[in-house]
Structure 1
Amino acid sequence: MEIRLVMKTARSVSLELDDGGIYKTKEVYRILVNGDEVKTTDTVITSLYGLKPDTDYEIGVEDAHGTRQGEIAFRTDYEFVTLDVHKFGAKGDGVSDDTTFIQAAIMACPPESRVLIPAGTYKITSLFLKSGISVELAKGAELLADTDRSHYAILPGLIESYDETGDYNLGTWEGNPLPMFAGIISGIDVSDVNLYGEGSINGAANHENWWKNEKVMVGAFRPRMLSLNRCRNIRVQGLYFHDSPAWVIHPYFSDELLFCNLIVENPAKSPNTDGLDPESCRDVTICGVRFSLGDDCIAVKSGKIYMGRRYKTPSSNIHVYQCLMEHGHGAVTVGSEMAGGVNNLIVEKCRFYHTDRGLRIKTRRGRGKDAILDNIIFRDLMMEQVMTPFTANAFYFCDPDGRTEFVQSREPYPVDDGTPSMKRFCFENITAKDCHVAASYFDGLPEQKIEQITMRNVSVSFAGQAKCDVPIMSNGVEACCKKGLYARNVKKLVLDNVSIEGCEGEEIELHNVDEVER
């Protein structure tokens, strides 16, 4: 076994126990801290809490028979002081509004120090983070969000500069600069923050409040649970997020981010409740996270056409590993808001279970010439009961004009400033079993074909009682069942040791594919 340090603070640590397992370890292990057993674990990414600041630790890992599998030594970070929110007036009784008291502790916290939220239920509206501090939600602590939108601050979409030569963007909704309610936790232009612990954040959303008439803007668009706008070096560890008003975690124009060992859950029928959506972000790591949602688990974005042209900021260098994606629309989605482009996305050593799609690429005409998708890599994955494991859709029928002839026509249009590009995609060492709809469905633009799709060591098999559905959301695509590999408008398709078992009809169906390498 190889043990790697993923994250440490003054009070916690996350480790990767690499025994060859994917999300789950191959067996249950005992974790010892300085020789004393503190827990058992069966997940590859595991975390420990309750450590002391500025202290040396040795972590040992043993199997059920007491055989040492590995160890790692480290020193926790320095901590100056701890500010307990109870000393600032917070009650944690689930009834009183504790927003002001917790915010006071955050604002008073000096650098290299901790705001501690002990066990209890703390009713809040919006909290705003501050640079250089740690915020810990202890075991048994719950932040319970108020559901009265009149109590929430509004973040405007665009504020024009005094000299009318620039603007300041705060609010955003589905790729456009629009007013939104402040997040339950918001970070705006902050850096070097740890948000961690064994506690939970409860958005308290349901179909009687935030999810009612979900397409209508009432005062402003729905808040995220954790909203990070132009932040740097933010680390989020261990927390349980659930019942979000909209997207759960939304990093926006932010860099150097780590999301580790989280649980992110929303009901199966909850609108726009994506799990984690990095938008125009760079250097993002997502590891050991369990998603179970009513929308996309992870959706990598970079805005619609105004934001793409105005800021030209792609999402890049995003690494997703050792995660579990359950019951979402897409396990990992790119788009459809991707006008700034997405590049260097690696997804590896993850399990996808019962999602509609595994990889889900969504784009359309009008996203713009900066909407370039390149170097998208999926490898070492296990999928089970995924409807369609691999999809790329250049005709996604989003937005008010999504079903128009301009977006949906399969005839070639002139390549212009509104034409998006899909370049290199690689899928290797992937097993997908008990699938339903299609092994893959790649549908590029005729005027701007997908440059290259490589599939290597990929095995797809279908469920015995497979369900029929549409493989992608696009006009003219009919529901199907046990369809093989479908590709249209692709320059080069590389198939190396690809097996499809149990499909009905052609195993491989190609249209307007220039080159096939087997």
Structure 2
Amino acid sequence: MKMLVALLLLLALCNANKVTVEESDGQCDYNLILEPRPHSVSILEFGAVGDGKSLNTLAFQNAIFYLKSFADKGGAQLYVPPGRWLTGSFNLTSHLTLFLEKGAIILASQDPSHWDVVEPLPSYGRGIELPGRRYRSLINGYMLHDVVITGDNGTIDGQGSIWWEWFNSHNLKYSRPHLVEFVTSENIVVSNLTFLNAPAYNIHPVYCSNVHIQNLSVYASPESPYTVGIVPDSSNNVCVEDCNIAMGHDAIALKSGWDEYGIAYGRPTTDIHIRKVHLQSSSGSTIAFGSEMSGGISNVLVQKVHLYNSLNGVEFRTTKGRGGYISEIFISDVYLQNIHMAFGASSLSGTHPDDNFDPNALPILDQITLQDIIGENITIAGNFTGIQESPLTNICLSNVSLSINSASSTFWSCSYVHGFSKLVSPEPCPELESSYSSSSTCFSLVNSYGRASAL
């Protein structure tokens, strides 16, 4: 047995890695380069039992505490072999790789006493679902640098059904936990894994920089309430690529804080690249911006994506009192299939955390370009609903062809929106029919990996 463990550790060490940042090769705005870790230990060495019944929280905590000692020695890897490893929430450390072997399943405990309760994020001021505190996520990183969560298609299973039941029956004591959350951290990689049945979000980088999320399968039941796949939140330099995500609510949602709390915190989500993903959303949107976006969202490139079997395709959400902005968004090379509403933008969407928001904090939606898009079996082409005090501006459509399955003559709905279009079928509403080529404010790329400027 000892010889087998030693052999597995040796093989895992070959896969261990640390993160360094390098100039982009054209795929993302930067590259996170993985380099070998000099040290590796197995969770077995800390008394863990992979029977799906024994609680291993202490084993994970002790292993990571031990691995902190290697932070100034090139970092280390925690190896999780095949098995079903039940655990409550635990924290990571810098210069660490958490590696899940094929057949390894980290199982989240369904006992809420095994989940820590923490203060709300400062840009939200309260839990998303309930006032006050929130449950800490299953796997956490706070003020960390150079962390990798990866494997040979191992699995992190949130066993979220009990949380969904408590949410639906209004029996939650605090807002639901996520599976993986990094706070105020940088140089993060999450790759080559399967995520299942999150209580709420699957991966939530908040106040982070240089995050690469790659080659994941993420799934929750279509009936799971408000489950979300990947949520870049008040973060910059985030790349999401080569992922398959199917969720109860949004597949990918970009956020940046809630009303007066997000405005005060003032950290935007910017320099985001989403590419080569397959996304499905049962009750929300495959790609959502907001509705919590009070710190601002800008410079986002979405390209080469497949959106299918969903309520909404791409949606921009905000409301009065939210403040902030969504601007400089470029979305291209999109294939939509079996989508109820292809595109939506609304300034009348979302609730408020409390009564202290400023009703005069008006959101701005500006410079949003949708280009080179094909849609099949679409019911509604688009609904763009601004507000008189702050209309949607510079909404630009180019080379958009949508096959509509409805007999209705109203394929587009628009109010308080201004924009431009070229080669769009069916023809958009009059507010968007100005010639695209006459616009000097449509957002367009100046190179192949996401930086952009006005034409």
1:424 to 348, 367, 370: 367
In structure 2, the residue matched to 1:458 is 400
How large is the RMSD of aligned CA atoms in angstroms? 2.8
Alignment of 1:217-366 (within 5 A): 218-328=172-282, 329-366=284-321
Contact 2:321 2:361 in 1 (8 A): yes
Alignment of 1:179-194 (within 5 A): 179-194=133-148
In structure 2, the residue matched to 1:495 is 421
In the TM superposition, residue 213 of structure 1 has moved relative to its aligned partner by 3.4
The superposition leaves residues 182-240 of structure 1 with CA deviations (integer Å, 9 ceiling, x where unpaired) of 1111111111100001210111111x444323484733211001111111111000111
Q: Which has the larger radius of gyration?
A: 1
Flag the 1:199–1:422 CA change in 2: closer, same or farther, 3 A.
Answer: same
In the TM superposition, residue 514 of structure 1 has moved relative to its aligned partner by 8.8
1:373 to 311, 326, 330: 326
Contact 2:164 2:224 in 1 (8 A): no
Higher helix share: 2
Flag the 1:401–1:154 CA change in 2: closer, same or farther, 3 A.
Answer: closer
Contact 2:286 2:307 in 1 (8 A): yes
In structure 2, the residue matched to 1:68 is none
- Give SS of 1:264's match: strand
Contact 1:439 1:482 in 2 (8 A): no
2:97 to 115, 128, 134: 134
- C-alpha separation between the residues in 2 aligned to 1:209 and 1:176? 14
In the TM superposition, residue 357 of structure 1 has moved relative to its aligned partner by 1.3
Alignment of 1:171-182 (within 5 A): 173-174=127-128, 178-182=132-136
What is the one-letter code of the residue matched to 1:137?
L
- Give SS of 1:303's match: coil
- TM-score, normalised via structure 1 length: 0.73
Contact 1:176 1:307 in 2 (8 A): no
- C-alpha separation between the residues in 2 aligned to 1:235 and 1:422? 31
Contact 1:352 1:384 in 2 (8 A): yes
Flag the 1:434–1:169 CA change in 2: closer, same or farther, 3 A.
Answer: closer
- Give SS of 1:150's match: helix
Contact 1:393 1:444 in 2 (8 A): yes
2:61 corresponds to 1:103: yes
Flag the 1:517–1:215 CA change in 2: closer, same or farther, 3 A.
Answer: farther
- C-alpha separation between the residues in 2 aligned to 1:186 and 1:347? 27
In structure 1, the residue matched to 2:4 is none
Flag the 1:397–1:126 CA change in 2: closer, same or farther, 3 A.
Answer: closer
- C-alpha separation between the residues in 1 aligned to 2:89 and 2:354? 35
- C-alpha separation between the residues in 2 aligned to 1:175 and 1:335? 15
Q: Structure 2: where are the runs of 5+ without partners?
A: 1-7, 18-32, 437-455
Larger mean Cα displacement after TM superposition, 171-180 or 111-120: 171-180
1:517 to 416, 435, 444: 435
Q: Percent identity?
A: 27
In the TM superposition, residue 270 of structure 1 has moved relative to its aligned partner by 0.8
- C-alpha separation between the residues in 1 aligned to 2:244 and 2:350? 29
- C-alpha separation between the residues in 2 aligned to 1:425 and 1:275? 23
Flag the 1:82–1:481 CA change in 2: closer, same or farther, 3 A.
Answer: farther
Contact 1:136 1:196 in 2 (8 A): yes
Contact 2:279 2:306 in 1 (8 A): yes
In structure 1, the residue matched to 2:343 is 390
What is the one-letter code of the residue matched to 1:266?
A
Contact 2:395 2:432 in 1 (8 A): no
Flag the 1:310–1:281 CA change in 2: closer, same or farther, 3 A.
Answer: same
Alignment of 1:107-126 (within 5 A): 107-109=65-67, 110-111=70-71, 112-126=75-89
Flag the 1:256–1:85 CA change in 2: closer, same or farther, 3 A.
Answer: same
In structure 1, the residue matched to 2:29 is none
2:387 corresponds to 1:445: yes
- Give SS of 1:418's match: coil
In the TM superposition, residue 483 of structure 1 has moved relative to its aligned partner by 3.3
- C-alpha separation between the residues in 1 aligned to 2:126 and 2:106? 24
In structure 1, the residue matched to 2:378 is 435
Flag the 1:145–1:514 CA change in 2: closer, same or farther, 3 A.
Answer: closer
- C-alpha separation between the residues in 1 aligned to 2:231 and 2:408? 30
The superposition leaves residues 428-455 of structure 1 with CA deviations (integer Å, 9 ceiling, x where unpaired) of 111011112x111111111111120111
In structure 2, the residue matched to 1:204 is 159
In the TM superposition, residue 52 of structure 1 has moved relative to its aligned partner by 5.4
Alignment of 1:398-409 (within 5 A): 398-399=351-352
Flag the 1:321–1:230 CA change in 2: closer, same or farther, 3 A.
Answer: same
In the TM superposition, residue 88 of structure 1 has moved relative to its aligned partner by 1.1
Contact 1:84 1:118 in 2 (8 A): yes
Contact 1:376 1:426 in 2 (8 A): yes
- Give SS of 2:339's match: coil
Contact 1:52 1:76 in 2 (8 A): no
Of the two structures, which has the highest relative contact order with CA contacts closer than 8 Å and spacing of 6 or more? Answer: 2
- C-alpha separation between the residues in 1 aligned to 2:399 and 2:184? 39
In structure 2, the residue matched to 1:57 is none
Alignment of 1:52-71 (within 5 A): none
Q: Structure 1: where are the runs of 5+ without partners?
A: 1-10, 12-48, 55-74, 159-167, 408-414, 467-479, 501-506
- Counting matched residue pairs gives 404
Contact 1:358 1:388 in 2 (8 A): yes
- C-alpha separation between the residues in 2 aligned to 1:88 and 1:514? 62
In structure 2, the residue matched to 1:26 is none
